[in-house]
Amino acid sequence: MSVGGARRFARLRQSLLGRRYWQRYRFTSGNEVKLLRSGDEFFSALVERVDAAERDVVLETYIFCYDAAGQMVGAALLRAAARGVRVRVITDGIGTAHLPMFDEWASAGIEHRIYNPHIFGRLGFSRTHRKLAVIDDQFAYCGGINIVDDYDNDGETLPYRRWDFALELHGPVVNDIRQAFDVQWRRIRVGHRPLESLEPDLTPKTTASLGSLRRRRRRRNEELWAGGEPCVAFVARDNLINRRAIEKAYLTAIGQARHEVLLANPYFMPGRKLRRALVYAARRGVVVKLIIGRKEFKALDYAVPFLYRALLRAGVQIAEYEKTLLHGKVAVVDSKWATVGSSNLDALSLMLNNEANVVLVNDPSIDALREAILTAFKDARRIDEAHYDARPAGERLLNWLAYTTYRAVMKLLTVGGYD
């Protein structure tokens, strides 16, 4: 990069740092939160809000399918555009194929950008795995639900709805989610237009130092936590500023756990720090229950069990969920802290992909999420330590090979960042 280019990039980075978007734990109070437990609930709520939109609709998703769900959401976007609402959509270049409706969107005036159209694009290997929507800067959605039919899994019909969650949000946190979308919208443009074209939109709102902002944010967060007031934070990860934001949110909550950690995730291959946090929590007497999804990626089905040994010996309770496709990425700690979002607990989500979670503290909706996780744990197959230790030698070898291969590939893709 030339000296001039480096300076422009430094100004761009500083502009991003000056915005609220960089603040990993900017908790706000006064939010209304509604837990949506399936695609059907999410799509109905989203379409209702889009149909009531008056000014602006933005949507970002990894998968947008041309099925009944996709056509329903797409039709709502077209109706909004027809009545003069500005509609912008971001889809991922690998997660979403080119759909017939994209041409119809362009004709209707819907603005559509594709994040990293190729496997190895100018944004590296990363994908946008986020599932976000904001309507009129009044209502926002964040969770793990793609725009895809609840019962469809790559052409196969699931026996039950996909196990997944999203949140409908109303209040100050909506602004943080909207800003994250706007940053992503501009980020996709970098490389197509000069960096200078971004700078007028990214003038910092504050001249305070980064360290001062962090200290103020930390004090504010501590006040909200200590006061027992319901509060919400939007936590995004990217490869520019918030590289470990979501992982740190998990580590902070698990490290402070005193009674219970409930965690459900389809792709459980975190690095050593998060695994150690779960082990240490179990050893100090915290009830730790881990639900892992199965039967989506065979490689992980073989690799993940390699991690069970240390967890089981520490007292972590593990169950594999096979009733339907477990796609939710959720956790509850001590019935006071919870997260719902798009981030898996694997190298791709924690180290490479753009992800977005919402963290809840003392919010009434946490109880419903806790009950959903406990019910899923009862429906899942428990991993018994004695049976696990008695696995045939061939199965043990296969688990080791799958894990070792996964780890080597992820270390290569993350340039040594995955541990």
Pick the more confident residue, 223 or 90: 90
Q: DSSP labels for 238-268? A: -SSS-TTHHHHHHHHHHHH-SSEEEEEES-B
Q: Go through 357-383 and write b for each residue having 16 or more CB atoms within 10 A of its CB, e for each that does not.
A: bbbbbbbebbeebbebbeebbeebeeb
Q: Is 411 a catalytic residue?
A: no
- Give the separation between CA 308 and CA 326, rounded to whole angstroms: 19
Q: How confident is the model at residue 196 (pLDDT cuts 50, 70, 90)?
A: very low
Handedness of CA 217, 221, 222, 223 (dihedral sign): positive
Contact indicator for 326, 376 with CB cutoff of 8 Å: yes
CATH fold of 20-197 reads Endonuclease; Chain A (3.30.870)
Q: What is the pLDDT of residue 25?
A: 66
127 token code pair: 């994908």
Pick the more confident residue, 193 or 242: 242
- Give the separation between CA 152 and CA 68, rounded to whole angstroms: 10
Q: What is the pLDDT of residue 155?
A: 83
Q: How confident is the model at residue 14 (pLDDT cuts 50, 70, 90)?
A: very low
Tell me how long the chain is.
419
Tell me what the mean pLDDT of segment 106-132 comes to: 91
Of the residues 92, 150, 238, 327, only one is catalytic, namely 327
Q: DSSP labels for 43-62? A: HHHHHHHHHT-SSEEEEEES
Q: Is 118 a catalytic residue?
A: no
Domain edges within the chain: 20-197, 235-413
Chain-centre distance of CA 255, in angstroms? Answer: 21
Q: What is the pLDDT of residue 227?
A: 61
Residue 225 predicted with pLDDT over 70: no
Q: What pTM was computed for the model?
A: 0.88
Q: Is 273 a catalytic residue?
A: no
Residue 21 predicted with pLDDT over 50: no
Tell me what the mean pLDDT of segment 341-361 comes to: 94
Least confident window among 11-15, 64-68, 145-149, 166-170: 11-15
- Give the separation between CA 418 and CA 325, rounded to whole angstroms: 26
Of the residues 176, 289, 329, 346, only one is catalytic, namely 329
- Measured from the Cβ of residue 78, the count of other Cβ atoms closer than 10 Å reads 18
Q: What is the pLDDT of residues 239-273, one digit of tens each?
A: 777 888 999 999 999 999 999 999 999 999 999 99
What 3-state class would DSSP assign to 75?
A: helix
- The matching CATH number, chosen from 3.30.870.10, 1.20.1200.10, 3.40.1190.20, 2.40.110.10, for 235-413 is 3.30.870.10
Contact indicator for 86, 56 with CB cutoff of 8 Å: yes
Q: How confident is the model at residue 217 (pLDDT cuts 50, 70, 90)?
A: low
Tell me what the mean pLDDT of segment 371-380 comes to: 98
- pLDDT, mean over the chain: 88
Residue 391's alpha-carbon distances to 19, 28, 177, 309, in angstroms, are: 52, 49, 46, 12
Handedness of CA 191, 122, 64, 338 (dihedral sign): negative
Residue 294 predicted with pLDDT over 50: yes
Q: Is 149 a catalytic residue?
A: no
Pick the more confident residue, 18 or 102: 102
Handedness of CA 28, 34, 39, 40 (dihedral sign): negative
Q: What is the pLDDT of residue 301?
A: 92
Of the residues 56, 152, 334, 379, only one is catalytic, namely 334
| 61 Cβ contact partners less than 8 Å away, ≥ 6 residues apart | 89, 90, 91, 92, 95, 96, 130, 131, 132, 146, 147
What 3-state class would DSSP assign to 287?
A: strand
Of the residues 56, 136, 152, 182, only one is catalytic, namely 136
Same topology between domain 20-197 and domain 235-413: yes
Helices (H) and strands (E) counted in the chain, each on its own, are 14, 18
Contact indicator for 353, 359 with CB cutoff of 8 Å: no
Q: How confident is the model at residue 24 (pLDDT cuts 50, 70, 90)?
A: low
Q: Is 131 a catalytic residue?
A: yes
Q: What is the pLDDT of residue 207?
A: 42
Residue 9's alpha-carbon distances to 21, 167, 183, 393, in angstroms, are: 17, 35, 15, 53
Q: What is the pLDDT of residue 413?
A: 86
Q: What is the pLDDT of residue 211?
A: 58
Q: What is the pLDDT of residue 419?
A: 80
What proportion of the chain, given as a percentage, has pLDDT over 90?
72
Contact indicator for 143, 36 with CB cutoff of 8 Å: yes
Q: What is the pLDDT of residues 300-341, one digit of tens each?
A: 999 999 999 999 999 999 999 999 999 999 999 999 999 999
Least confident window among 13-22, 99-108, 173-182, 254-263: 13-22
Residue 347 predicted with pLDDT over 80: yes
What proportion of the chain, given as a percentage, has pLDDT over 70?
85
Q: Is 40 a catalytic residue?
A: no
